[in-house]
Chains A and B, each alone.
Chain A
Amino acid sequence: MRRSSFAAFAAALVLLWPGEVEAHLVTTGLGPVYDGISHVLLSFDDLLPVVALALLAGLNGQAAGRKVLFTLPIAWLAGGAAGYASGVALFPAGFASLSLLLLGILTAADRRLPPFVVKGLAMILGLVHGSGNGAGIAAAGHDALGLIGITLAIFVLVALVTAGVVSLKKPWARIAVRVAGSWIAAVGLLLLGWTLRGRI
């Protein structure tokens, strides 16, 4: 009980630490929904953590994959709506690098995680990134429908990547996913260095 209280306190501290919002929407000229879709596909800041989580969920099997498939887009939409309404992004400094590092290490290690842990990671990731997107859309004066495009793109992306990884049977294919995880972790570690260098 004491441990869970500490974890909740630490999580609240991290989430309440405001960071810089760098969530600009791509303008396609096809409307806000398509702007949202292209934003996910073109912005590595959002794309890479989604792919990392989808790889991790896929390695953890169908149950974890199904939980992430619905949890992540819904949490992203909820966080986006909150960010759009409030104009405040709950995007702590260093969250992007630490999330990539954590998800990458978990993927590279290929350890089985309880489905609720994977679901919790999806919820935190969705809420934080979604709030950044929502606040960014509000700050730019764009239509909130962009969030629908973002959510749809994430749903499709997670479905494709997770299903692809779940269906892998050959050992070398799972190793390839683990190598991808180690690359993502390496990116997270380098990004953490960039973040700290900017602050030292």
Chain B
Amino acid sequence: MSSPPAFRAKLGPVIIAMLVTSPVWAHAEQGQAAGFLTGLHHPISGLDHVLAMVAVGLWGAQLGAPAIWLLPVTFPMVMAFGGFLGLIGVPLPGVELGIAASAMLLGTMVACEARPPLWLAATLVGVFAIFHGHAHGTELPAGENGLLYSVGFVIATGCLHATGISIGLIHRWPSGRIVLRVAGVAVAAGGAFFMWRAFS
């Protein structure tokens, strides 16, 4: 079971590269990069947000065209509008309940493989997007670079949708449809947990 010579020839430089020490750049994050990273981290820092964002992608994939591309185009802008309202201090009552309800309802839609008219699906997702955006807008930390924070924030949100859509592509296989519906149940259950926590 000896390894081929070509493999051993490549292994040597790899080991040397791993053993060669390099300077440590372990400074605390600061400046513009910190703003970008904070923005990138914010949407994935709360499981309630993550569940709803991924569920939007899953549902879009289930609904197929044109919802699969309409939702990712409209959602970031509507969510940013919610963030805008939060930033300028416009109050929105029941934000936590709205976020939990979004996971419950979107999960239920995926679980039931619901196919409402496109306008209704877009409106539903848009309303929930305002709640999510508002929560992010009011939680934005002070002292960050606004532009880079926003860029990171939007990229992370878009990537969560893309993750949901990518997972949702299993919808084309019969067994994949069942898995998707089970995933919808899991999202709805997560939403119910966050709803219970919001009330307790």
Contact flags A167-200 to B (C-beta < 8 A → 1, else 0):
0000010010011001101110111111111001
> A197 contacts B88, CB within 8 Å?
yes
By size class, the interface of chain A is 20 to 34
Interface of B is mostly: helix
Return the contact of B137 from the options A45, A108, A193 (Cβ within 8 A): A193
Interface of A is mostly: helix
> A190 contacts B89, CB within 8 Å?
no
The number of residue pairs between A and B whose CB atoms lie closer than 8 Å in the complex comes to 85
B window 148-178: CB within 8 A of A: 148-151, 153-155, 157-158
Return the contact of B158 from the options A45, A172, A175, A183 (Cβ within 8 A): A183
Contact flags B75-89 to A (C-beta < 8 A → 1, else 0):
011011101111111
> A189 contacts B69, CB within 8 Å?
no
At the interface, yes or no: A102 with Cβ under 8 Å from chain B?
A: no
> B74 contacts A193, CB within 8 Å?
no
On chain B, the residues within 8 Å of A44 by CB distance are 32, 147-148, 151
On chain B, the residues within 8 Å of A45 by CB distance are 147
On chain B, the residues within 8 Å of A194 by CB distance are 87, 140, 146-147, 149-150
Return the contact of A192 from the options B84, B86, B140 (Cβ within 8 A): B84
Size of chain B's interface in residues, with CB distance under 8 A?
Answer: 30
Return the contact of B79 from the options A104, A186, A191, A192 (Cβ within 8 A): A186
Return the contact of A183 from the options B88, B137, B148, B155 (Cβ within 8 A): B155
CB distance from B101 to the nearest CB of A (A): 23
Given A182-B72, A197-B88, A197-B89, A187-B83 contact (CB < 8 Å): no
On chain B, the residues within 8 Å of A186 by CB distance are 76-77, 79-80, 150, 154, 157
On chain A, the residues within 8 Å of B198 by CB distance are none
At the interface, yes or no: A37 with Cβ under 8 Å from chain B?
A: no
Q: Which residue of B lies closest to A195 (CB)?
A: B146
CB distance from A46 to the nearest CB of B (A): 11
On chain B, the residues within 8 Å of A196 by CB distance are 87-88
On chain B, the residues within 8 Å of A190 by CB distance are 80, 83-84, 87, 137, 146, 149-150, 153-154
CB distance from A186 to the nearest CB of B (A): 4
> B88 contacts A193, CB within 8 Å?
yes
On chain A, the residues within 8 Å of B72 by CB distance are 179, 182
User: What's the Cα separation between A190 and B89 when bound, in Å?
Assistant: 13
At the interface, yes or no: A96 with Cβ under 8 Å from chain B?
A: yes
On chain B, the residues within 8 Å of A178 by CB distance are 69, 73
Q: Which residue of A lies closest to B70 (CB)?
A: A175
> B81 contacts A189, CB within 8 Å?
yes
Given A183-B155, A189-B77, A197-B147 contact (CB < 8 Å): no
CB distance from A195 to the nearest CB of B (A): 7
CB distance from B129 to the nearest CB of A (A): 10
User: What's the Cα separation between A200 and B86 when bound, in Å?
Assistant: 13
User: What's the Cα separation between A186 and B150 when bound, in Å?
Assistant: 8
Given A179-B72, A183-B155, A191-B147 contact (CB < 8 Å): yes
On chain B, the residues within 8 Å of A172 by CB distance are 69
**What are some 24 contacts across the A-B interface (CB < 8 A)?**
A44-B147, A44-B148, A45-B147, A48-B147, A179-B69, A179-B158, A182-B76, A183-B76, A186-B80, A187-B80, A187-B150, A189-B77, A190-B83, A190-B146, A191-B147, A191-B150, A193-B85, A194-B140, A195-B146, A196-B87, A196-B88, A197-B87, A197-B89, A200-B89
Interface residues of B (CB under 8 A from A): 32, 69, 72-74, 76-77, 79-81, 83-89, 137, 140, 146-151, 153-155, 157-158
